[in-house]
Structure 1
Amino acid sequence: MIADCRIAEDRAMTVQLHRDRTAVEGAELLLRHRGRATAQLRLACETVLADLAGRPVAQGERVQAVLPPAPGLLREGHWDLLLATPGQEPRPLSGAGVLDTRQLLSPQRANGPGPLLVRLPYRTGDGTLALRVWERERHAEAGELHVAANGTLTVNAALHGFAADAGADAGEATLELRRRGEASAGDGGAEVEGERTGAYAYRFTVTPAQWRGGEGGEVVWDLYVRVGETACRLGRILDDIHDKKRVLTLPSMTVPVAGSGTRRLQLRPYYTVENNLSVVTRGGSCPAGH
């Protein structure tokens, strides 16, 4: 069954189903967590007389369900959308309909009331309709990223949910470079003080020398923003791209490391499958005469 989907300004999600001969009374929209099938949410469908654009439709042609914008209804992760009807196995919804996610491109106010809530409907590789959910009390949103010719990486970040934390509005934010698997930047990583650029907005600048170790090998670094006692992953979720690792290619560079003799560094930032920002570095020696 084909479904249209729209995200409203308040982040409520409406899913409208094109009725077919197999749809019966008592149909429900079933949301099922992809990693935990027992995590489910059922929403009753009701008949409507207009499509999502407000154009009239015939009686019984469309039914819809609305997921309210209340937090706590869905855990973080990927959710499959299915049609559940009495006496039948739930069926995946086709993503061939309209996906209206324009409201996700309008900025959510930093440090607004309640957690940061993002619900992003998308079409899967096999054409079905799914939903990516993020819900976080605190979040560091990655903004513009630049890798200069000398290997200096600059990344901007906007903080959400830090209004009550001491120092959050005083320019005291730190970017932590953590080796993957390490609990803090102190385990072979580094800390970079942020430059305040606006209300809850910061710029961090990392030089090649601050990516420590990894000579001759590859190191994966996960980036965290710390304010006071709280650190959270730096990522990008406030747009309409659910899988940035697959579709976004960030600038990379190989440069000599100043003051290190023949050492050079290959630097490649990327977004993970969770849309978090990480960096891969590979160290080595410059060829003779470089």
Structure 2
Amino acid sequence: MKITFLLYNAYGIGGTIRATANLATALAGRHEVEIVSYYRTADRPSLPFGPGVTLRSLVDLRRGSRQYDGDDPAQARLGTVCRHDHPYKSATPPSALGEARLAEYLRRTDADVVVATRPYLVCFLAEHGRADHLRIGQEHVTHDFHNPGLRRDQDAALGRLDAFVTVSHGDERAYREALPDVATRLTHIPNCCPAPETEPSSGDTRTVVAAGRLVPVKRYDRLIGAFAKVAAEHPDWTLRIYGRGREKEKLRRRVRELGLHDHVFLMDPHSPIDTEWAKGAIAAVSSSTESFGMTIVEAMRLGVPVVSTDCDYGPREIITHGEDGLLVPVGGPDAAVEEGIADALCRLIENDAERLRMAGAAIRSTRRFLPEHMAAQYEALIDDLRPGTAAPSRSRPRSAAPARTPRQRAGAIAERLGVATLLGKGLPPVPVGCRVAPDGSLYFRVPTADLPRGDWQLLLKPRAGTEDTEVRLPFEVTGSTGPEVELLLHRSGRPMAEGYWNVHLRHGRDKGRVRRAPAGLVETGRLLAPTVPPHPSGAGFATAVPYRTQDGNLSLRTWSRAGHAELEFLAVGEEAVTLTGTLHGDVTRGHHYRLTARPRGGEAAFEARCRVDEAGCFTAEIPLAEAARHASGRSTWDLRLEPYDEQGEAVRIARLRGDIVDRRRTDAFPVARHATADGVVELRPCLTAGHDLALKAVTVAPALEPAV
């Protein structure tokens, strides 16, 4: 059987694309599966499609590509089908060119089953699909979520389909009630989620994780409001929200208004997201509606219990309240819903045993969403509609698939990882994974199937500006070597120099060719543990954070400091900016400190009082009047703790703990203002590229209104 899935843009990131990729990959084990993307906007998909899935596009919008269709006059004319669907408001609306090519595809395809994944495509399939192939529509949101015009268009189209599939039983009921006389088969099949490759959550990170598009329906403003109460009662817990969208600046303002800059962090989207779910002890969903809740399943299968609003329809069909997560009633005022979310989060924060029990139950309960189960349900639906159609394809059974050469296998890996070029002549890209151990050591995983036999080295080469020698981890590939080798970089001895390191592979000894290593699975959740073991050398702080670069390669960001002052909280008051944190390292013991503000390369502009208790916790206050008095137009000061005696060394205040490579994108501090005779001075705390704390002073017009 050949199955075709119609996607609007298979090269983007979104729940529909992810759900389709999972289902298509599962079906490709028994059938011929093709993804047809209306538009192509990138060289490679952002989300991977598995082996056996063929991807083709109809209209190429990649500027500079030989197939570029953006200059075709028909591309400038809007399409005519389902004009109320949201793509018409996007930067790439449906076009006359796209409709002509999709209609032509449907006329000529040899597919046995065509599945449309959004209302525009559902309507198009109803109008142009042929009777000799099964026409199946999918609903990835809900019937009631659509605007009236879109709902009217899609409802009218359903009668010309063979089946229409929702992702929840509740939405199936809603369609049945809205369309009592439709002859089309209405049913529901949940989205599927493959078993994770990522190590499950340890459950002890004191981190709440949320992920999704930053759009109004997700109600992250409500989650941030709820976390104000959580942070007040549990100041050592933080909230991370992963995603992009038009609500980002609004959410930043909400964080600032509630003074949660040290507790709530807006993270960039991350792919794969599994490694980020595994960093959470709890996951949170605050949506006003959820057709299914892919993020809920993704978190639960990694042992992260979910606190979710009990919105229509998905959460209550995934979470069993009190067993593998908690549901919060909705329907009342926002303040009541925020209170409910906060209480549920605090319940799990305060009860470790219950949280860990739910974590185990969550892993067990989400096994029902494995792709093979959902693929079987689609096969059963197809066989009900047209008996015999869903039999496994004789032309392409997986066991009879042609063997691929090492270069072809590596090319497929590179395609999924988005790696643009081969790593040197004669050797395909070999993605290297990295996992941080509980003690901060690094385990590198090197797949060996496509490596020639012989001696190899994994090289950590310092970039320019990182003053150190390369680190070599040797290994050997023989006929008995398993599918991968695991190499340990132990966190002992001399710490690696602070800076950036690129990961390479070398075949042979010192004269062998050196090639950059693409990033495989990178797991850094252990860096969020509540306590970090001190480095054996006695250094104040020493760590290595593996990460994937923008071009898809594996690198490390390292920090190494004999003495360190970790900034934990920064508060802006009417009279002062208050800094609190902890001192680390043998060199910081036995000293009394003062805080100094120094322009780079200059003498101290001013100093302020600093108190250090017996446990090494410091509190420093920067008087606004004193800082404003030393401001001259535009100034930038580095902040450090300097001992009163001449025996000790100055210690930079920084925020180094954790897994974040560039905190300038996530940590946004409030601005302090102080009026002087020359104008209003704004004092802007910020982090440098090295995560050191700095203070920028800018004199502005006296009439400037305070920022919201």
TM-score class normalised by the smaller sequence: 0.7 to 0.9
- CA 1:109 to 1:85, structure 2 compared with 1: closer, same or farther past 3 Å? closer
Equivalent runs, 1:92-241 vs 2, <5 Å: 92-108=516-532, 114-115=538-539, 116-148=541-573, 150=574, 152-162=576-586, 165-167=589-591, 172-182=592-602, 184-185=603-604, 189-196=605-612, 199-211=615-627, 212-215=629-632, 217-227=633-643, 228-229=645-646, 230-241=649-660
Q: Are the aligned partners of 2:456 and 2:506 in contact in 1 as well (CA < 8 Å)?
A: yes
Offset, 1:131:
0.8
More helix by share: 2
Secondary structure of the residue aligned to 1:108 is coil
- CA 1:136 to 1:166, structure 2 compared with 1: closer, same or farther past 3 Å? same
Offset, 1:144:
1.0
Residue number in structure 2 paired with 1:53: none
**Bigger radius of gyration among the two:** 2
Q: Are the aligned partners of 2:434 and 2:520 in contact in 1 as well (CA < 8 Å)?
A: no
Secondary structure of the residue aligned to 2:545 is strand
Q: Are the aligned partners of 1:71 and 1:135 in contact in 2 as well (CA < 8 Å)?
A: no
- CA 1:73 to 1:140, structure 2 compared with 1: closer, same or farther past 3 Å? closer
Q: State how far apart, in whole Å, the 2-side matches of 1:36 and 1:91 are.
A: 21
Residue 277 (1) aligns with residue 674 (2): no
Deviations 1:167-219 (A, max 9, x none): 3xxxx32111112221x42xxx111112346610111111211214334x210
Deviations 1:218-261 (A, max 9, x none): 100100012333212111111111111233322224x233xx44
- CA 1:113 to 1:28, structure 2 compared with 1: closer, same or farther past 3 Å? closer
Q: Are the aligned partners of 1:30 and 1:81 in contact in 2 as well (CA < 8 Å)?
A: yes
Residue number in structure 2 paired with 1:264: 680
Deviations 1:105-132 (A, max 9, x none): 3323679862132111111121111111
Deviations 1:15-71 (A, max 9, x none): 011224234331111000011698211111367xxxxxxxxxx95210121112123
Residue number in structure 2 paired with 1:41: 471
Q: State how far apart, in whole Å, the 1-side matches of 2:705 and 2:555 are.
A: 54
- CA 1:29 to 1:106, structure 2 compared with 1: closer, same or farther past 3 Å? farther
Residue number in structure 2 paired with 1:245: 664
Q: State how far apart, in whole Å, the 2-side matches of 1:65 and 1:112 are.
A: 20
Secondary structure of the residue aligned to 1:126 is coil
- CA 1:132 to 1:18, structure 2 compared with 1: closer, same or farther past 3 Å? same
Q: State how far apart, in whole Å, the 2-side matches of 1:147 and 1:202 are.
A: 17
Which amino acid in the other structure matches residue 156 of structure 1?
T
- CA 1:59 to 1:43, structure 2 compared with 1: closer, same or farther past 3 Å? closer
Q: State how far apart, in whole Å, the 1-side matches of 2:448 and 2:487 are.
A: 13
Q: Are the aligned partners of 2:493 and 2:537 in contact in 1 as well (CA < 8 Å)?
A: no
Please give the root-mean-square deviation of Cα atoms over the aligned residues, in Å. 2.9
Secondary structure of the residue aligned to 1:245 is helix
Structure 1 gaps, min length 5: 48-57
- CA 1:102 to 1:289, structure 2 compared with 1: closer, same or farther past 3 Å? closer
Q: Which runs of 4+ in 1 moved over 6 A?
A: none
What TM-score comes out, normalization by structure 1 length?
A: 0.81
Q: 99-108 or 153-162, which moves further after superposition?
A: 99-108
Secondary structure of the residue aligned to 2:455 is coil
Secondary structure of the residue aligned to 1:210 is helix
Structure 2 gaps, min length 5: 1-429
Aligned length, in residue pairs: 267
Deviations 1:71-115 (A, max 9, x none): 325222110011111275222222231323424533236798621
**Sequence identity (%):** 26
Secondary structure of the residue aligned to 2:664 is helix
Offset, 1:262:
5.5
The correspondence for 1:32, drawn from 461, 468, 476, is 461
Q: State how far apart, in whole Å, the 2-side matches of 1:77 and 1:13 are.
A: 17
Q: Are the aligned partners of 1:194 and 1:204 in contact in 2 as well (CA < 8 Å)?
A: yes
Q: State how far apart, in whole Å, the 1-side matches of 2:475 and 2:528 are.
A: 24
- CA 1:160 to 1:97, structure 2 compared with 1: closer, same or farther past 3 Å? same
Residue number in structure 1 paired with 2:54: none
Q: Are the aligned partners of 2:504 and 2:517 in contact in 1 as well (CA < 8 Å)?
A: yes
Secondary structure of the residue aligned to 2:505 is strand
Offset, 1:165:
4.1
